[in-house]
Amino acid sequence: MGGLALAWLTGEGIIVYRWVKHKAPPPPGALLEASLLFVALGVLAQYQPARTAAALFGWGIDIAVLMQVIGKEPKVTPSWPPLCIPDTQLMPSKTAGVPCGSAQSPASSSSATSTGTGGAKKKIPTPAGTKPIIGQR
């Protein structure tokens, strides 16, 4: 089982190397997919006559992936660092977002409960026929 575990660690290292080359952390799905393949090979390796074949298959996968990674320029542009979520958006999405430097901050947007000079709260007028919110005078 040692040869298969070493092949799994080598495969994970290749995945991490590939994503570091992209200047981004590896996504959990990429590491999970490789781990699931080696877990399946580990289950197969529990059968004594298939142990060598499972380890050789794991090393073969590592060599095939390594031949695809080494010497090639990354073609994928990772979305790292991720975009910031603007104040007007509730959930993150891949298509919407703003660069983190230009995101609206709560301090820069005008607020209805802003403080005036001296730290005293300004009085906010309420529409006719409604009760003021607790804390307003």
What is the percent of the chain with per-residue pLDDT over 70, rounded to a whole number? 58
Q: Which domain holds residue 53?
A: 2-69
Q: Does residue 115 form part of some domain?
A: no
Asked if residue 106 is part of any domain, the answer here is no
Q: Work out how many domains the chain is built from and give that number.
A: 1
pTM over 0.85: no
Neighbouring CB atoms inside 10 A of 4's CB total 21
Residue 136 lies in a domain: no
User: CA–CA separation, 49 vs 5, rounded Å?
Assistant: 17
Residue 75 lies in a domain: no
C-alpha closest to that of 77 among 12, 122, 15, 22: 22
Q: What is the pLDDT of residues 28-85, one digit of tens each?
A: 788 898 899 999 999 999 999 999 999 999 999 999 988 887 776 656 666 666 777 7
The answer to whether residue 60 sits within a structural domain is yes
Q: HSE, CB side, 13 Å, CA atoms: give it for residue 113.
A: 7
pLDDT band at 2 (very low <50, low <70, confident <90, very high): confident
Question: 109 in a domain, yes or no?
Answer: no
The answer to whether residue 36 sits within a structural domain is yes
Q: Measured between alpha carbons, how far is residue 10 from residues 5, 35, 61, 63 in Å? A: 9, 11, 10, 10
- Closest listed residue to residue 1, CA positions, set 64, 61, 43: 43
**13 in any annotated domain:** yes
